[in-house]
Structure 1
């Protein structure tokens, strides 16, 4: 009789202990809920969709390059390689650009002119922010005051003067030219820049942005300085 009582008491204790353990785990690890509103979630989804689209475009371009090699290998592998080198030079900015885009003029603000304030040069931080904003809207090529921007272009303050590619940028007014992949992209960039708040930052520095209408043809000169290669080495002909 006592043995049966002990068994029942042990079973009851096991059940109670299991219930307490489950309750403790629930308190320690509450279920997290997404408290964002529907618009925030839709914006996040839109960004992810755009990123996915860009990745698919890059994959398509790589597939086309591989297909090009396969089609031309019987004709001339050297020709296919040369074609790829030309494309890479265009992507980097080592050749002149002619195509759709738009022009931005950086001018002194009307207030600074009316008050007779001295015209100051654009600061490196403000110029970098503008270029980042332009790149965010998918610019293909950029030229600042006649200086081509590439992946390694330094923008810094040298003796109180803003420089691009180690060449000083003139005080306002000066011009920024932007190349895009298509005319539609230029139109889209124009609308986005018009709606951007970047112009407010220029007013603080007594400058203003005058964004020109999209154009079918603009010209941007090639990068005209040596390109430093720290990791690539030329293989002598005949070696593999």
Structure 2
């Protein structure tokens, strides 16, 4: 049980099983915590061969232990800073050598730290684009050969509704996340003839442990404020995003590509 009651879903539901995912090799970036850890867990529960990349070796090892205990399926992981593209490429190659060519990629890694506009330097701007956008393209590039060799695949990019709402205090983040929609459409057009589908998910405010701690420390009252903006009066949790990713990875969505799916409880 989480120490934060906001992270406990009000209703437990039976969720779908996707036979087409069983045995498939899946790569998740930023998979050690938050939404990424939920993605890894959900794909492991579908009997996939899952690999993930994380910046923190201790966090990654702990995540793999927890998911193995919960699902009986231990994910593999590699440690890399995704801002370092050669390191990212090396981590993907390492995991593919262990798990086989990836037919599903979930470009999840990102960071939505805030900074006032006056404090944004050119160096910080470039670092935020490297953190939230650039690696998504190069991860997709790195898995293309394996996907094509196995007959196709599914790439899922993680966007955000923050840019749709014009969120303040993180313009460098909203700029990157808005670009993901354009990148998704162009990749889908370019890769469709290779039977590779490319879609993106734009989550609303998803309550992870990190977000809850930060909200309670900095944004008092934001829980109620955000629920007021939602049509559905229940906090979004990481599994809500992971279940959309499962659908987009499975053959159930075989003719869906170039789309962005908003999962936000009805905010935008």
TM-score, normalised relative to structure 2:
0.22
- The structure with the larger Rg is 1
TM-score, normalised relative to structure 1:
0.24
Higher strand share: 1
